[in-house]
Amino acid sequence: MIITKQNRMTRFLCLLFLLFIPIQHKAQSITLNQGNTLQKDYFAEIPFENIYNKLIIPVVIENKTYRFLLDTGAPCVITSELSNVMQSKFLSSINIVDANGKNDTMKMVAIPALSLGGITFQDIPALVNDNKMIFECLKIDGFIGSNLLRNSILQLSSQKKSIIITDNPSRLNLRKKYASKLYLYDTQSSPFIKIGLKNKKEASEELLFDTGMNNLYDMSLRAYDILKEANLFVDIEEGYGNASIGIFGNSEDTKNYRFTVPQIKINGTAFKNMTIETTNDKNSRIGAELLNHGLVTVDYKNKYFYFEPFNESYDLKEKQIGFKPTISNEKLVVGIIWDDAIKGTVGIEDEIVQIDDVNYDNINYCDIVTQPSPLRNKNKETFKVTFRNSVGDLTTLDLTKK
């Protein structure tokens, strides 16, 4: 939902499409004990491995430890190999729509039991998927999603590199001054929060808290079309192409926008001069980058969201490079071009052969997925980039952030 003070009008965003959405009614009719545990008054602190803002946690199934991605923006997911090992119960084949609107059929199964830090969850519905970019490159066996966490309280600490799972808020040092309402939607219990945006006018947006997303804030094109009427954005750039990758692959090429918002408030903490890009996702999202700015607690059980900042406010003003990379056919390519000065010289889907001394012709595909691009180096402003077009011609440009 987006609310602007302009003309005192309230506008609504349709928040129906999440990362995975069961469409067939047959799948919706399945009832399982989602989020229920064997223990009561439980508490566990679990270390995580941070791979480029992807939080990997240990999960015990049948006395064996597996690696799972913690993804509050998704349901539980497992690989077909793990499903076969567990002899998980088949529930249904369902039609799934990913974040980019692409759809395909996936199996839903029941995980008999799994343990997080000694807390046992039973009969958890999970989708089965074998996306190479996700599972092979991150070396994981599944996702822990919001449908498992729906009756718990999840605290995420980048300083301790750990998560806490409990059902008792008194066991955490939670302060109301850092709290806001948490909104849980659909059978997945997807967690949404409300943030404020301000330039000369003000607005608010309700958006998904998604730890499966690397960035701080991505805005949906749908939200952009509504919020632009409030004149909240400055330094707006237009680009054509795609840089969004869902569970079923790359999004379709479309017009996108990059812009700055003078002030965004999350639970009262001001983030100034944040650069935001639009995506084809149906929902705007706050991602795992937020953990680098404060302690986050998602109280699914009592429907509160806590953000305790490390600093009183943040100024995120940063120069930007004139294009955005993405991955296509296991190659690093140009996804979106923002700078008019390089349009015509470099094209969408041109391969990125080299950035400074990093040669992407000879790099392992999974290293592209799991390692930050040199372009994200905040201490460097100029880069020598070599591109290869569709007929094999090479072009090398010296590009400077602006």
Would you state the structure tokens that stand for residue 391, as one six-digit string?
């007929």
Residue 18's pLDDT is what?
31
Q: What is the pLDDT of residue 29?
A: 40
The Cβ of residue 66 has, within 10 Å, a number of other Cβ atoms equal to 18
Distance CA 51, CA 218 (A): 19
Q: What is the pTM of this model?
A: 0.89
Beta bridge partners of 308: 295
Say how far apart CA 85 and CA 61 lie, in whole Å.
10
Distance CA 45, CA 57 (A): 11
Cα dihedral across residues 272, 277, 278, 282: positive or negative: negative
Which residues lie closer than 8 Å to 26 by C-beta, 6 or more apart? Answer: 92, 94
Cα distances from 305 to residues 74, 145, 198, 259, in angstroms, run 18, 17, 21, 27
pLDDT value of residue 25: 29
Characterize 137-152 residue by residue with b for buried, 16 or more Cβ atoms within 10 angstroms of its Cβ, and e for exposed: bbebbbbbbbbbbbeb
Low-confidence ranges of the chain (pLDDT < 70): 1-33, 97-102, 243-252
C-alpha dihedral sign at 153, 294, 158, 66: positive
Output the pLDDT for position 1: 53
Query: What pLDDT, on a 0 to 100 scale, did the predictor assign at position 33?
Result: 52
Contact 51/138 with Cβ under 8 angstroms? yes
Q: What is the pLDDT of residue 46?
A: 98
- Domains in the chain: ranges and CATH: 1-318 (2.40.70.10), 323-400 (2.30.42.10)
Please, where are the H alpha helices in 90-244? 137-138, 146-149, 221-227
Give the pLDDT score at 353. 96
Q: Which of 169, 172, 182, 160 is nearest to 72 (CA)?
A: 182
pLDDT score recorded for residue 5: 39
